[in-house]
Structure 1
Amino acid sequence: MEETIKEYMRTSVITVSSSMDIREAAKVMTESNVGSVIVIEGDKPKGIVTERDIVRAIGKGKGLNDKVDDIMTVSLITVREDSPVTAALSLMRNYNIRHLPVVDDQGKLKGIISIRDVAKALDNIYENSLY
């Protein structure tokens, strides 16, 4: 039986609202020691802002007082919590991303999985297959 995303995702997702400014989002990321924040609307993910997004925005002349809504990635790639870990890896490789919001079957945000989490999962799978 293949291990699922739910077993390796982090359920404490750092979220922000789309009306937050870039400076505030960067501060939240720094204080939480994370590389991305999920922009939520209600209980559903609306977008994601990563360290790369902030750097690109500043490089393109955006100000720190501009809103997260202006720089977030809205073509959000998500993965269901009951999907196999290899599905997350496949999505990350295909879309060249390092963080995936995890949703339930109704699209509600349940967690986040990073490439680091996937690597740990695959390492565990590999270790277990040796015995």
Structure 2
Amino acid sequence: MQVRNAMSTQVLSIGPDHTLRQAARLMSQKRVGAAVVIDPDSSGIGILTERDILNAIGAGLDPDVERTGSHLTSDLVFAPPTWTLHEAASAMVRGGFRHLIIIDGKEPSGVISVRDIVRVWSQAIQSQGAVSTPMH
């Protein structure tokens, strides 16, 4: 199965000048764990995750002052929609991250998370009737 079949097409895009609180509020409203950060003044795309916000607040930084552009990950691995779920999972394991931005052409077309991959693989196993019961 390809990532296009499992990715969320609801991409939350924000700018680098949003505060961390604004980003957290939007992520919560959209029920997503990551936001794609697009800087109109550069050609770069970054990602801000729940963990990035958690780390900033845990370090005592003010979420009403801190800007997303200072806390995003910009060294990203992008995936085309034609990657397999295995390729996406392998990239996530190698890079130590839980979200992957899917790029179709030059624009983000989706985000796939570890949760998306687990959901699809679990459904596939269930549909094959290969669900095992827990051992006691």
TM-score bucket (shorter structure): 0.7 to 0.9
Q: What is the CA deviation profile of residues 64-86 of structure 1, one whole-angstrom value per residue up to 9, with x for unaligned ones? A: 11110011111122211111111
TM-score, scaled to structure 2: 0.81
- Establish whether residue 52 from structure 1 lines up as the match of residue 59 from structure 2: no
Supply the distance in 1 between the matched residues of 2:83 and 2:39 (Cα, whole angstroms). Answer: 24
* Structure 2 unaligned regions, length at least 5: 131-136
1:103 deviation in Å?
A: 0.6
Supply the distance in 2 between the matched residues of 1:45 and 1:80 (Cα, whole angstroms). Answer: 17
- Higher CA-based Rg: 2
In structure 1, the residue matched to 2:133 is none
Checking the alignment, whether the CA contact within 8 Å between 1:21 and 1:68 is kept in structure 2 is: yes
Q: 2:31 corresponds to which letter in structure 1?
A: N
1:1-131, aligned counterparts within 5 Å? 3-41=1-39, 46-64=45-63, 65-104=65-104, 106-126=105-125
1:120 deviation in Å?
A: 2.4
1:123 deviation in Å?
A: 2.9
Number of equivalences: 127
TM-score, scaled to structure 1: 0.84
1:101 deviation in Å?
A: 0.8
